[in-house]
Amino acid sequence: MVTGTLAGVMATAVLAGVGVVAGDGAEPRYWMRVGARFAPPTAFIPSSAITYDMKLVPAGSAIEVEQRSRPGGPGGRGVRGARGGMAVTVRVEGLKPGHAYGAHVHQKACGADPEAAGGHYQHREDPEQPSKDPAFLNPRNEVWLDFTAGPDGSGEATARHDWEFRAGGAGSVVLHREPGGAGDRVACFTVPLVSGG
C-alpha cells in the first residue's frame, strides 16, 4: 500500500538524466532531461516545478525539459571540434487546453515569489536590467519556447541556437501567461541546465 505522502513524492519526481558522450577526438557532447509535476509554492511536499496560477497550470500538471548539444560548425553542421550549440525542448501535459503560453529560460532557480527566477537568460547580456531592448530581448539572443496547449492540455516547443549557456547563467524555465517577450509568470521549473564551457 502506498501512503498519501509517499504517493505525493512519487508524483513529484517524473524523470531525470544527464549524459556526456565523447569519441573520435571531438568535443564531448551532452544531453539532459528532467521532469516534474507542478505544485503550489505552499505545497506540503515541495516540487522543483511551481505553479503560481492554478487555472492555467493546475497542480499535478507535468513538465519535462530536455537539452542536447549539437554537432560542431555553423548551424550545428561542419567542422569537428567547433562549438555547435544546443537545442532545448519543453513538453507539458495537463495545462489549460487551447491557451497560448510564453516560455523562456531564466537566470536563476524558482522560488515562492515568481520574480525569484530573475530575468531571461541572454547570450549577449543587456547591460540594463531588466532588459527591454529588442536588440537583446529576442528569440535569437534568448531561449524562447512558446507553445499553445492542445485539446488535452499538452504542448511542446524546441529552440535551437549556435551558442551554449554560460556556467551558472541559466537556472529555470518559466511559463508566462502569453507568448512573446514578457507577460505574467504563471509557473516555474528549476532545471539543471548544462553549460557549454
- Per DSSP, which regions of the chain are E strands? 13-21, 29-37, 49-51, 62-69, 86-93, 100-106, 147-148, 155-161, 172-176, 185-190
Q: What's the pLDDT at 48? A: 97
pLDDT value, residue 79: 38
* Per-residue pLDDT, 63: 98
- The three three-digit cell numbers of residue 196, written as one number: 557549454
Map out the domains of the chain with their CATH numbers: 4-190 (2.60.40)
Distance CA 160, CA 164 (A): 10
pLDDT by 10s per residue, the chain, length 197:
333 332 333 333 445 565 555 545 555 578 899 999 999 999 999 999 999 999 999 999 999 999 998 766 444 443 344 457 999 999 999 999 999 999 999 999 999 999 999 999 999 999 998 888 999 999 999 999 999 999 999 999 999 999 999 999 999 999 999 999 888 999 999 999 998 75
What number of other Cβ atoms are within 10 A of residue 141's Cβ?
A: 21
Indicate the Cα dihedral angle 146, 152, 153, 155, nearest 10°.
-30
User: DSSP string covering 47-64, please?
Assistant: -SEEES-TTTS-TT-EEE
